[in-house]
Structure 1
Amino acid sequence: MTKPFQFKASDVTIEKRETVFRGFFQMDKLWLTHPRFDGRTMPEFSRELFVRGDATCVLPYDPERDEVVLLEQFRPGALGRDQSPWLLELVAGMNENGEHSEDVARREAEEEAGLSFSKLEKICNYLVSPGGTTEMVYLYCGKTSTESAGGLYGLEDEHEDIRAHVVSADEAITMVNDGRINNAAAIIALQWLQINRPALRAGWQ
């Protein structure tokens, strides 16, 4: 059996690329070809690609109180479904050019929740939806204190309206299990916390 990852980015031939839309986000159209697993070459085909910068998301966690901070805000991508478009999410922000993801985590925690982190634990990096977008998420868990956390945050000039909630870790994990939390970054981070919570509490306290 052939092992995975026999092909590389250099095996893809992009015959043509053009930007078809540029606004708050960018959409490109690519005409490309690449080798097939059976040894033939894929005929040239086209794909639209949502060109979006990388992002950093972080789950604020207090190991002494065993609580997390989750942010509630409106998301237009959830419209048209049988749920509220106000979602419970992690602290998150877009990475600026040359900016380290840990710096993004600390900046966004202050802006979106009034929090600071004494430690950051890397969870993983993951591609959001590689069939159609370029975005990579850098995911962390951040040690913080929830003693005075919560309240209203966000930058008005960026049309942000954020409510920070303090939730027990058990309740947050329950919300993943029953579907009240259904966005990828929060699901991954909270399931990671469920697995690693005993070691994290022992190491962080």
Structure 2
Amino acid sequence: MPDWKKPLFDRDDVEITRRLTLYKDFFRVDKISLKHRMFEGGWTEDISRELFLRGPAVGVLLYDPERDTVALVEQFRAGALTGPGSPWCLEVVAGMIEDNETPEAVALRESVEEAGVEPYRLEYIARYLPSPGGSDEVMHILCGLADLENAGGVHGLDEENEDIKVHVIPVSEVFDNLYSGRFNNASVLLCLQWLQLNHSRLRGSQTC
């Protein structure tokens, strides 16, 4: 078996020697000291890192195979204030996983809260780490097959200060503009690329 298919080390090969919480509010930041095994033998010296603790989250691409449209949400993102373009981003529906929730349960809940849409079928796409150099966030992405005929409008929870606009877009337009810069976050790009690869299969399953 090629050595890249299975990591040489695991969590037992890391020793955390100190942890200090620097900040805790909506998010949490810890400062940790650790050492880990090295590829050529031995252990590193103590390494200091700040770790942004965000936890697991879910993103779900809403797709209507009958009408060949997707529903994407647009909302303000503080993290995009210093980047190029607008801080209002086009995204897939997303939310955090609470205790004892499955990614599928979160996908269904957030689809209703953020888009007013209830998928009739979910397909799991992938699990990935958005920024493993400094955050513990784990992102699960899924595709939610749904009837988008009446989708649209503004949604979100008032108590969470959400102001979310739903756009229903023909898939052909999305694919033609996939790399225009309008889709500028990892989850939406990965989901739409997956949709490109699975488009014909999903179109054929529209009556399932």
**TM-score, scaled relative to structure 1:** 0.97
Match of 1:89 in 2: 91
Secondary structure (helix, strand or coil) at the match of 1:16 reads strand
Question: How far is the alpha carbon of 1:2 from its aligned partner?
Answer: 7.7
SS at match of 1:142: strand
- Partners of 1:135 and 1:62 lie apart in 2 by 29
Residues in 1 aligned to 2:126 and 2:193: alpha-carbon distance in whole angstroms: 12
**Contact 1:124 1:140 (8 Å CA) reproduced:** yes
Partner of 2:126: 124
Match of 2:149 in 1: 147
Unaligned runs of 5+ in 1: none
Matching residue of 1:3: 3
Q: TM-score, normalised by structure 2?
A: 0.95
Identical positions, percent: 48
Structure 1 counterpart SS, 2:112 = helix
* Maintained 8 Å contact 1:176/1:182: no
In 2: Cα distance, 1:164 partner to 1:8 partner: 41
* Matching of residue 18 in structure 1 with residue 20 in structure 2: yes
Give the drift of 1:14. Answer: 0.5
Cα distance in 2, alignment partners of residues 170 and 73 from structure 1: 23
Provide the residue aligned with 1:164 in structure 2: 166
> 1:99 corresponds to which letter in structure 2?
E
The reply on whether 1:74 has 2:80 as its aligned counterpart is no
> For 2:111 and 2:141, how far apart are their aligned partners in 1?
13
Partner of 1:115 in structure 2? Answer: 117
What letter corresponds to residue 143 of structure 1 in structure 2?
A: L
* 1:137 match: 139
What is the CA distance between 1:139 and its match in structure 2? Answer: 0.5
1:58 is displaced (CA, Å) by 0.3
Work out the CA distance in 1 between the residues paired with 2:129 and 2:116: 28
Moved beyond 6 Å, runs of 4+: none
Unaligned 5+ segments in structure 2 are: none
Return the offset for 1:129: 0.7
Aligned length: 205
Q: Give the aligned partner of residue 62 of structure 1.
A: 64
